[in-house]
Structure formats: structure tokens, C-alpha cells
Structure 1
Amino acid sequence: MKINNREREILEILEKDARFTAADISKMTGLNEENVQAMIDKLEEARVLVHYTSLVDWSKVEDDQRVTAMIDVKVTPKRGVGFHETADRISRFSEVSSVYLMSGAYDLSVTVEGKSMNEVARFVSEKLSVLEEVISTTTHFQLKKYKHDGRMFEEKQTDSRIVVSP
């Protein structure tokens, strides 16, 4: 879909903070509120604007044990549909939060979330690896999140150590 500069501007504003209303964006852009809302509706209908989301740092929530893994998947592409059919099938699993077609040694990058490492391991061994098109997988467990979607998870702290010089 081809979009104009105003629509691009609205997308960039919402990408930075999805809480902005049409009235807020109207004030920021100088467009009238009805036009802004009409553009947002058009972008949603065309699935250019797909979802509004919040970014949560779950590591700061006591007793939260959720685990995130990034899985590199080597796949045999199917004639006529390439990787699309397999990526779509993998995307339908509830444990999967994202799937990307990649260049390089692996074909798909799959992000999986679970309640424990065992739950993710079971997903890989019982659901993902058994798919006929899947040749191999490599699982990487996320240990700490520093930055996500352009947002830092921790503010830079000043170094309070005493400088020691020879």
C-alpha cells in the first residue's frame, strides 16, 4: 500500500507511543481530528497499523518466571509457496510470539515464550521439531533484556566506584 507523508507521520507518532489519541495527533500535526481518525482507520483496515501494544519489563515483577527463547529453524521450502506455508503453520502455535524469514544459515527465526525452560524445550521437541519441513533447530534462551523496540530497560547508572590510579 502506498501511503502519503501525513499517514507516514501518523504511523511514526503511534509507533513511538500508541497511547496518543487522534486529538493528540491532530495537535502535533496540525491536521483536523476527523482527518487523523480517518487516516488511522484506513491504516488499520489495510493492516499497515496492525496492533497497539505496551512494553513491560517482567524482570521487575516479583515471582514472574516466564522464559523467552529465540529459535533458529532450518526448513525445507515447499514448491510454489516457499517458506510461507511453514512460517504460517509455526505462527499458529500459542507459544510463538514472532516468526521472521531470515537470510543466513537458518531460514526462520522463531520467538517463543513459556512459563519455564522445560515448557519451551517441550514445545521445541514435541511441536516444532516434528514438523516435516523442519530440518533442524537451535534454541537460544534469553537471559536479560537490555533494549527492546528502541526502548532501554534500565536507565544508565552513574559509576560510583572510587577511581584508583597507579
Structure 2
Amino acid sequence: MNSKEKELLRLLEKDGRISVEKLSKMLDVSTEEVVGMIHKLEKAKVILGYSAIIDWNKVNETETVTAMIDVKVTPKRGVGFNEVAERIYRFKEVKALYLMSGTYDLSVVIEGKTMSEIARFVSEKLSTLDSVLSTTTHFQLKKYKHDGVVFEDRDEDHRIVVSP
């Protein structure tokens, strides 16, 4: 992968809606080259998709509960954590799954309509898997920043700083 492709990825990661024309100018290449690079990176599954970051708290009737679940598992011989991770990420409730270092092996991010729905997911689906030894669930109370985007509307304080 060349430096132009890496820079293209950085730009698209920051703003997936940036126009090909603007990308062309920023990268100092033709629009055809940008289109070709994007196609190549999508085909190679380097670019997996494009998404918008939404502040769902500002949308009526969209209350959801997000939980981060620390999971301790027994890895399987020959496949390690991959097999149990695949079984977990196939659940529709799972939004993200990470292999972690430290006390717990996996970190699972799920969304549900209520805390009870998340509790049912943990007790009926996640903790019943053979390899799962224990879970610890943390509920998200407020989102301040996600993927580099600050969620809080803060009015700037325009007062002059006075110091002695």
C-alpha cells in the first residue's frame, strides 16, 4: 500500500462523505486515480463500509441502552479465542467485539431497548456459551466522545480571563 492510499484512508476515516473532487485536490492526483484507489481498497476489504455518527439522544423515541460486557473465556485448542468470538459476534445485539489484554479476554458492546433486555441477553445467550467463564456488565450512562466526535453542545464562554 502506498502513501497516497494511506492518506486517502485517513481522509475517508475522518469524513466518509468528502467528495472525490476534494480528495483529488488534497492528494494531488486525478479524480480517476481517487476512484480507482477507493475501488481497489473496497475490493481488498480494507474499506469495509461507510457510516455516520449519530447523536441518538437528539432523536425522539430512540432511547436505547448500551452496555460494555467484559467476558472471561476458555480458549479452544487450535483456534484460540476466534471460535468463541465468532459465536458471540453473530448475535444481532452485538455492536462491537474486541480481544483484550488484562483480566478479561473479550469486550462486547451491545445495545438493547431496556436494561432488562440486556440482562436477558447476558443470562440467556452469552453466559450459556460453553467457553464463557464469567461476565461483568457495565452500562453506558452518557456518551461524551465517540470516534473523535464530541457529543456535548457546549456554549463557549466568551468572558475575558482576569488573573491577579
Q: Same fold (TM over 0.5)?
A: yes
Task: Indicate whether 1:150 and 2:145 are aligned.
Answer: no
Query: 1:87-119: CA deviations, max 9, x gaps?
Result: 111111000000000000000000001111111
Between the aligned residues of both structures, percent identity stands at 60
Matching residue of 2:4: 6
* Residue from 41, 47, 50 that aligns with 1:49: 47
- CA drift of 1:158 comes to 4.2
Correspondence for 1:17 among 5, 15, 18: 15
Q: What is the CA-CA distance between 1:61 and the residue it aligns to?
A: 1.8
Paired position in structure 1 for 2:33 = 35
Unpaired stretches in structure 2, ≥5 consecutive residues: 159-164
* Helix, strand or coil at the partner of 2:102: coil
Moved more, 91-100 or 25-34: 25-34
CA–CA separation in structure 1 for the residues paired with 2:7 and 2:16 = 13
Q: With the length of structure 1 as denominator, give the TM-score of the two structures.
A: 0.91
Work out the CA distance in 2 between the residues paired with 1:5 and 1:99: 30
Q: What is the rounded CA distance, in whole Å, between the counterparts of 2:7 and 2:109 in structure 1?
A: 29
Indicate the SS of the match to 2:49. Answer: coil
Residues in 1 aligned to 2:41 and 2:80: alpha-carbon distance in whole angstroms? 28
RMSD: 1.3
The 2-side partners of 1:37 and 1:17 are apart by 16
Letter of the 2:7 partner, please give it.
Answer: E
Tell me, in whole angstroms, the C-alpha distance in 1 between the residues paired with 2:144 and 2:94. 21
What corresponds to 1:164 in structure 2? Answer: none
Equivalent residue, structure 2, for 1:112: 110
- In structure 1, how many angstroms separate the alpha carbons of the residues matched to 2:64 and 2:3? 40
Supply the distance in 2 between the matched residues of 1:69 and 1:31 (Cα, whole angstroms).
44
* Alignment partner, residue 73 of structure 2: 75
- Matches of 1:119 and 1:98 in 2, distance apart? 17
CA distance, structure 2, for counterparts of residue 39 and residue 158 of structure 1: 40
Q: Within 5 Å, which residues of 2 pair with 1:80-99?
A: 80-99=78-97
Distance 1:67 1:12 in 2: 31
Find the aligned partners of 1:159 and 1:137 in 2 and give their Cα distance: 43
Task: Give the deviation of 1:45 after TM superposition.
Answer: 1.2
State the alpha-carbon separation in 2 of the partners of residues 158 and 19 from structure 1: 28
**Structure 1 stretches lacking a partner, 5+ long:** 161-166
How far is the alpha carbon of 1:159 from its aligned partner? 5.7
